[in-house]
Structure 1
Amino acid sequence: MNTILNLGSLGASTGILAAGLIFAYGVWLGRRDTGWRAAQGVLGAVVLGSVLPFLLIQFAPALLSYDSRNLTSLFLLTILNIVGVLVAFLPWLVAGNWLELLRREGPST
């Protein structure tokens, strides 16, 4: 099994885009420090989303010996795919939370 950390995926690319946009929005509002913390939070979510599948695979050894006739393997593989899709949206959820915080604070005067 290939265990190379893939930061070139679409989820990671859009997460990095979200981090840049939230930082730019913070700078535009005059809240550079809050924008920087927001970008770090989004990038942390990108890293978590990239590493989490490798952590989950250790708890599901049945996936390493995948057998299509075994119902348990199919169930674990389905759960792993669902969790992977949910984790792909985590950076955008974090960015949306920070966006609301920046909008509530408003521009600095």
Structure 2
Amino acid sequence: MTSSEHDAYDEFRLVDQYDSIEDPWLRSEFLDAIGTTRPRIDALRARRDAAREADARPAPKSPHRRPSRLRARSPRRPRVTSTRPSNRTDIRYISRRRAPRTVVLVIVIRLD
């Protein structure tokens, strides 16, 4: 039993203990003693019941599933590592690169 299964088993034991108590006053004291609430106990009960149902019925096998050895592999994409920016020599970048830049020159002359 793994630790998660063990923890779940302990929580399910709490639900069993809670269900075995008939007196509502004692149930409230039990909840206070373990530091939980009724909705938490209800959620644990639902999880316990679902786990029992899952263990009781076998997993259905799909008739349409192919064996793993017959499954086609997806093509792998090549890995690209870049160490510098790409050389943008494509025709669509040439016009952008050679576009004339507007230069504004302001000359201030001070006369006495």
Q: TM-score, with normalisation over the residues of structure 2?
A: 0.27
**Structure number with bigger Rg:** 2
Larger RCO (alpha carbons 8 Å, 6+ apart): 1
